[in-house]
Chains A and B, each alone.
Chain A
Amino acid sequence: MSAIIEIRDLCKTYGKGETCVHALRGITLSVQPGGFLAVMGPSGSGKTTLMNILGCIDTQTRGDYIFAGTDVRRLSNQAKVYLRNRRIGFIFQSFYLLPTLTARQNIELPMVYSGIPPKERHKKSSELLEMTGLASRANHLPSELSGGQRQRVAIARALVNNPSLILADEPTGNLDSRTGADIMRMLVDLNKAGATIVLITHERSVADNAKELIVLKDGCVVEKVS
């Protein structure tokens, strides 16, 4: 089976000349379908940069990123938008829900951009609200939800278009340990059900949920466990 993520010698630099910052210095890794990779490292090690590139919202300076057999560098903006919308689900540390939309509307947002009719959106979001245990909170605004509930809304939103890859950037970072454990259990269950997950964290206990682990430091992979 071919890998979902295949990156080779990936580099990312910000700025030019003397102020140039090397965020990633030649990273090579691959994730198979159904894989669960945790990326660890202290802040400033390049974790988020890596995730942004994997999520096609940022572009590498050098190296290759092959997503499900496609060289992302060769893709048009339009095609990347399509990937973000249909093939990739994002989960962020600070949830990134739109504050003026209800839980349901937030979950339905990616479907809005896929052009799915409102009826279908409603059906799908109902399923996901049920699955994440938020059925009774569907019409609440994010500000009326607890941190754990918000993150569950974000997870539901990431799943709504049945993506091939879920990218989770410190999903438990803003949660207390018990709620964090709940969220992790959810991700593990998703992985068991077949979802491919890349998880970014700086906590070993969180990373232990994954099947594989890499540790970044100063933009390089310093440890690899599988």
Chain B
Amino acid sequence: MRFSDYVSIAVHQLKKNRLRTMLTVLGIMIGIASMITVISVGGGGQQMINDELLKFGINRIWLFSNDLRGPNKLLTLVDAQMLQKVRGVKDVAPSAYEKAYLSRGGTKLIADVVGTTEALFVMEQMGYLEGHGLTKKDIDYVRQVVVLSEEAKDQLFGSGTAVGNKVSINGQKFTVVGVEKEDQSIYSSFFSGKCYIPISTFNLMFSNRHVDEISVTAQNTDVLDGVVDDCVSLLLKKYGEGSIKIINLTQELQNAQNILDIFKTVVSAVAAISLLVGGIGIMNIMLVTVKERTREIGIRKALGAGEHHILGQFLAEALFYALLGGFLGIALGVLLTRLAGDILGIKTEVSIAAATLSVLFSATVGIVFGLMPAYKASKLSPVEALRHE
């Protein structure tokens, strides 16, 4: 018996009982579809979180003084310059914070004023609605210039143009050079209603030579650990044991990954159960089929079908149910993935690996659950099978 004969018998049988075929296939289809969806949406979510963290910086560390007497007693611009020389460091951005009155004409609001350098704008890959970020010259020449957040600009200028106009910070005039575009980054949403001025101007204005934090980016993830060690040991040597606190996003990334992993595991378990149920459905229908077609099996055996022929025939049918379910499941899974991606606003992609895996998985289900009924059919005695009504 040829391979094409097995295929044609299986297709013939499945076509003959369309409704039965569809219902049998449904279980596998749902299982595979949910598996594909979970893997793709989960993968997309993971990618999104990775991207977000990368944007904010997984190559980035934040250094704070650990001094409980006050938040801004230790670190200075000199430290930032020192850290810039550490091997593997890409950018160093010192930042200092103060609350101040931000006003224009009759509008006045309390905003966070960030004193920083041009490096911060590079690090955070900031986008601009108008103008640009702070430049090195702004810092060097202690210019009275400001970059507003989108929210601050909206409140002070409404829909008008801000760049080139003046605002006052605690009564001092500043020229607006840029408006930061606030993207929907999940990690930056809590930093709105603020403005950036040169750190030099900041120090002068608030009579404060300290910075609150220094953030450092490593050239890549591989050297990150070395950079962290070097920076921290330099600062500790200067300020003493326990003086410096460090934060980076590796832990955040790990947490996000853990949550996703749990989510994936739970939904995969549900998908696996659904596949199991689908497999049992196939086994059930195959047992019914073997019973119904006992006479046929008898006739085939009388005409010279061997046990392996009958086994192969019924196994092929079970495999077809499973593969049909697998392919339909992939189609449904792709559809659901797109839908979920649109609803959740995640960029999703169905991986070839996931699709291949599910086809292999459904084929295995078909063979495993088809084996028992097919074996039963192959062992039927021809005489008794022929006598069967």
Contacts and interface: CB of A to CB of B under 8 A. Distances in A.
A92 B382 CA distance: 14
Query: A92, A100, A118: which has the most chain B beta carbons within 10 Å?
Result: A100
A75 interface: no
Contact of B304 (A52, A82, A97): A82
A112 B386 contact: no
A219 interface: no
Contacts of B4: 118
Contact of A96 (B1, B16, B302): B302
13 contacts: A52-B383, A57-B383, A58-B382, A81-B304, A96-B302, A109-B300, A112-B1, A113-B300, A113-B303, A113-B304, A113-B306, A115-B2, A117-B2
Interface of A: 52, 55, 57-58, 77-78, 81-82, 84-86, 90, 92, 96-98, 100, 109-110, 112-115, 117-118, 157, 161
B307 A77 contact: yes
B304 A86 contact: yes
Contacts of A92: 386
Interface in B347-382: 381-382
* Secondary structure of the A contact surface, majority rule: helix
Interface residues of B, number: 24
Contacts of A98: 296, 299-300
A163 to B, nearest CB: 10
A112 B12 contact: no
A80 B4 CA distance: 25
B305 interface: yes
Contacts of B1: 112-113, 115
Contact of A109 (B12, B298, B303): B303
B303 A78 contact: no
B222 to A, nearest CB: 60
B194 interface: no
Contacts of B381: 58
Contacts of A118: 2, 4
Contact of B303 (A58, A84, A100, A115): A84
A109 B5 CA distance: 10
B16 A85 contact: no
Interface in B308-323: 309
Interface string B283-307: 0000000000001101111111111
In order of increasing CB-CB distance, the 9 nearest A-B pairs are A85-B304, A57-B382, A81-B306, A113-B304, A84-B304, A110-B303, A58-B383, A96-B299, A113-B305
A98 B383 CA distance: 16
B11 to A, nearest CB: 12
B382 A110 contact: no
A178 B333 CA distance: 62
B305 A81 contact: yes
Nearest to B15: A100
A135 to B, nearest CB: 22
Contact of A100 (B16, B305, B307, B309): B16
B290 to A, nearest CB: 15
Contacts of A110: 303-304
Contacts of A52: 383
Given A113-B1, A115-B1, A115-B2, A96 B386 contact: yes
B41 to A, nearest CB: 43
B379 to A, nearest CB: 11
A127 B217 CA distance: 84
Interface string B4-35: 11000000110010000000000000000000
A195 B382 CA distance: 25
A85 B301 CA distance: 9
Contact of A113 (B13, B295, B309): B309
A117 B2 CA distance: 8
Query: A81, A86, A115: which has the most chain B beta carbons within 10 Å?
Result: A81
Contacts of A97: 299
A55 B16 contact: no
Given A98-B296, A100-B12, A57 B303 contact: no
Nearest to B307: A77
Contacts of B13: 100
A203 B129 CA distance: 104
A84 B302 contact: yes
Contacts of B307: 77, 81
B301 A57 contact: yes
Contact of B302 (A55, A86, A115): A55
A112 to B, nearest CB: 5
B277 to A, nearest CB: 29
A90 B302 contact: yes
